[in-house]
Structures are given as structure tokens and as C-alpha cells.
Copies of this chain bind each other. A is one copy, B any other.
């Protein structure tokens, strides 16, 4: 049964709740076929909208021509019109990104501004609409496929993503062209040959037609794939959620993952990858993190924002900002550690003749230490061998003996070397790390603040 494009458009927008009642869509209009058709469809169906046009100034006179065209379109359709000029080249240079990334960032930042701007509140702008259609989506998915991707790359663009909607995602490019022809619409052609556009055109005009020689239904098959893989992704996320729920113990800003349980997880690579992805780790780093499953305490892998530390039978994922973390790794060459409002100063020193120190300084045998050291809050069950006591003692007992308040207790840290406490920071040294006759190199830790 044949349905005109506008009817299918209406159903798609309704089914996916793309246009809200009493609100206006902000349509990103380049002036090309797709965005012009989108505007006319909205007009035909009495869906309120406004037009936004980005003047990136990358194509000289052509950019001006497009801007004028879109301004005229907005006038013709009697809808609010926004335009902004960007110095895209400058932004790209300043932010060391490609022209394309720059354009994307500038564009979406501006759209967000328009939506949020108090001056536009009377327009009730609910979301930004772009004119991506089914062929765009298929091309994206096929390119993702050959570039290598996970499941999300195969379900492609979504009809709704936050404040971004794609009301034409159901329609083939040819349908839009037919609509434009039958409605005698005019539009502008974009002559730009940006790299991704070039790649996209290569797939559109060379790869996909070649494939269709052998599989004439390839485009329809891809469209069905996209539907199916959207659902596969939902199942994927459901199973993943179950795994992560069972694996992650959240402690403040840290996530603790039991090593034995993680090692038994199937499928290990993917679950580990997804677990770590949220903390800035790359797919390549997943392998390194999995090596921690067989490593000794103290080993770690670091992303731009987080570290995963093997700590006894746990992997501890902690933010790199020391204030937020209750576990700090101290490498051999580190000279200073901030924790809370305090600072530890660290230094290798010659063995001093006088070993007496104030409570805020620890002097230990450097060669007895195993780096990285771990600085962390004390916890129930911690014990050590207080200097000179000749037997072990619970840290909790020590703190009681020291008559610390509850708040003071909460601020007590221990410095560890290979699971052994070296120093109850600011309070008592461990006997096993003391400087003795055989010590040739000392290590001094000093607490400030």
C-alpha cells in the first residue's frame, strides 16, 4: 500500500515522539536538498519550527550564497531564522582539531546555546532536527563496518538522541528527491569535498552500486539490518548491565572489581572493555588491564582520567585526581603527593647518623620498599608491626591507644609496600622497614599540613 512521504513522515515523528506538542523544532538547514525537504514537510504538516544556518566561511562566495538562500527560505516559510558566522579555520587551529571536528563542535555548541538562550524561550525550541536520511545511515553503517566497529556502529544513527532528532531517518534519498521534484522545490548544492564527505561519496557512488550488482536488495537488507542491530544492541546492553552489576562494588569515587570474579567472566574481553570505557580506557588498554588479573599488587594501568590498580584480590578503578581517590600510587621517582588538604614529600636520602625523627617524618630502608607504594586510608582489619613492639598490632587498636577522635581517625592514612604497612602516616613506623646496620640507602617521607 503506497503512502505519501508526508504520511510516513508523520507516523515516524509520532512513533518516535520527535516533535513535542506546543513546541518548535530548530531545524539545522544547510540549504541542501535534504534539509530543504525537511522544512517543507514540517510546513506541510503544520509542525512548528525555526531554522538555524551555520555560515562556516569555508567556501567563500558559495558560503554567502547558501546563507542568502536559507534566509530567503525562512522568509518564504515565515519561520524564525538564526544565522551565525564562524571562523572555523581559526577555531580548528586554536583547538588543534580538523576543520570537520571544528565545524561540528561550533555547530552543536551554537545549537545548544540557541535552545538554552532566554531570548528564545518564547519560541519553545524543544530540540534540534537534522535531515539525516536512511541512505546516510546505511552509508554510515557500511563505513563503520569496514573501519571496524562494535554493535553500536551497526545500528547507526538513532532517531532521537538527547536534544537531537532525525525525523527523516526512515526515508530513502530517492524519496526526498521525488518529493522535491513534485513540489518544485529549489535547493543549493554543496561543492565542498571534505575528506569524510569524499569517503562517503566513494561508498555511495562506487562501493554500494557494485555490491548491488550482485545483491540488488542490498540497501533494503541494510535497512533491515539496522532495525535488527538496534535490538541486538538493546540485548547486548541488558546482558552487559547484568555483568557490571555483579562485578562492580562502588566505593565513593572508586569502583572495586573482584579479580577472581572478573577472570571467570564470559565474554571477558568485551565486558572488561565496556567496564573500562567509562573511565577513559581505550580498547587497546583492555588487554593491559587484563594482565593485571595475573599480576602482583600495586601494578596499574592509567587512562587520561583514571587508573586501574591491582590491589590484592581487587582491581581498583580510581580517578587520577588525588583528592577524589582514597588510593594513591607512589612511584619511585615521585617527590610529592597531595591527599586531602595534606602533602607528602618523598625523597631518597643518605642514611642519617641520627634516626630520631618527629612523628610527621618516616625514615625507612629504601631497598626494603617495593614500588609503587600505596597510600590509602586505614581500614578495619589493617595491622602492622609497630617499631620496637616485637609483635603485630591492629591499626584500629593503635588509634584507640592514641585516643584519636572519630573525625581524626577518618583522616588516618597508611603507606603500604607490597601489601605491608610501612607507616601509619604521622603516627607510627613499621618495624620491618626500619633502617638497620645493613641499610645503604634511606627513603624519607615527610607529612606537611
Residues of A within 8 A of B (CB): 145-151, 154, 199, 202-203, 206-207, 210-211, 213-215, 217-218, 220-222, 224-225, 227-232, 234-236, 238-240, 242-243, 266-267, 269-271
Asked if B225 and A149 make an inter-chain contact with CB atoms under 8 angstroms apart, the answer reads yes
Asked if A232 and B148 make an inter-chain contact with CB atoms under 8 angstroms apart, the answer reads no
Asked if B146 and A221 make an inter-chain contact with CB atoms under 8 angstroms apart, the answer reads yes
Helix, strand, loop or mixed for chain A's interface?
Answer: helix
Contact among B146, B220, B227 for A211, CB-based, below 8 A? B146
Q: Which residues of B contact A207 (CB under 8 A)?
A: 207, 210-211, 214
> Which B residue sits closest to A236, measured CB to CB?
B235
Asked if A222 and B148 make an inter-chain contact with CB atoms under 8 angstroms apart, the answer reads yes
Given contacts A148-B220, A206-B210, A234-B270, 10 further A-B contacts (CB under 8 A): A146-B211, A148-B225, A150-B232, A151-B229, A202-B214, A207-B210, A232-B270, A235-B240, A235-B270, A236-B236
Asked if B149 and A270 make an inter-chain contact with CB atoms under 8 angstroms apart, the answer reads no
Bound together, the chains give a CA A238 to CA B265 distance in angstroms of 12
Q: How far is the CB of A142 from chain B (nearest CB, A)?
A: 8
Asked if B228 and A235 make an inter-chain contact with CB atoms under 8 angstroms apart, the answer reads no
Bound together, the chains give a CA A230 to CA B229 distance in angstroms of 14
Q: Which residues of B contact A149 (CB under 8 A)?
A: 225
Q: Which residues of B contact A199 (CB under 8 A)?
A: 214
> Which B residue sits closest to A230, measured CB to CB?
B267
Asked if B218 and A146 make an inter-chain contact with CB atoms under 8 angstroms apart, the answer reads yes
Q: Which residues of B contact A145 (CB under 8 A)?
A: 145, 225
A to B CB contacts below 8 Å, 16 in the list: A148-B217, A148-B224, A149-B225, A150-B228, A199-B214, A202-B214, A203-B214, A206-B210, A207-B210, A207-B214, A231-B267, A231-B269, A232-B236, A234-B267, A235-B240, A235-B267
User: 8 tightest CB-CB pairs across the interface, nearest first?
Assistant: A148-B221, A231-B267, A231-B270, A235-B239, A239-B239, A238-B239, A234-B267, A146-B218
> Which B residue sits closest to A269, measured CB to CB?
B231
Q: Which residues of B contact A230 (CB under 8 A)?
A: 267
Q: How far is the CB of A4 from chain B (nearest CB, A)?
A: 23
Contact among B147, B213, B242 for A221, CB-based, below 8 A? B147
Q: Which residues of B contact A210 (CB under 8 A)?
A: 206-207, 210
> Which B residue sits closest to A208, measured CB to CB?
B146
Q: How far is the CB of A430 from chain B (nearest CB, A)?
A: 42
Q: Which residues of B contact A154 (CB under 8 A)?
A: 154
Q: How far is the CB of A336 from chain B (nearest CB, A)?
A: 39
Q: Which residues of B contact A203 (CB under 8 A)?
A: 214
> Which B residue sits closest to A223, measured CB to CB?
B148
Q: How far is the CB of A93 from chain B (nearest CB, A)?
A: 27
Q: Which residues of B contact A235 (CB under 8 A)?
A: 235-236, 239-240, 243, 267, 270-271
Asked if B270 and A222 make an inter-chain contact with CB atoms under 8 angstroms apart, the answer reads no
Q: How far is the CB of A350 from chain B (nearest CB, A)?
A: 43
User: Known contacts being A210-B210, A211-B207, is A146 close to B222, with CB within 8 Å?
Assistant: yes
Bound together, the chains give a CA A236 to CA B232 distance in angstroms of 7
Bound together, the chains give a CA A147 to CA B242 distance in angstroms of 32
Q: Which residues of B contact A240 (CB under 8 A)?
A: 235
Candidate in A220, A222, A228, A242 with the most chain B CB atoms within 10 angstroms: A228
Bound together, the chains give a CA A203 to CA B214 distance in angstroms of 9
Bound together, the chains give a CA A93 to CA B56 distance in angstroms of 66
Bound together, the chains give a CA A235 to CA B269 distance in angstroms of 12
Candidate in A145, A230, A235, A236 with the most chain B CB atoms within 10 angstroms: A235
Candidate in A154, A232, A243, A269 with the most chain B CB atoms within 10 angstroms: A232
Bound together, the chains give a CA A404 to CA B296 distance in angstroms of 74
Bound together, the chains give a CA A215 to CA B232 distance in angstroms of 26
> Which B residue sits closest to A224, measured CB to CB?
B148
Contact among B215, B222, B231, B266 for A234, CB-based, below 8 A? B266
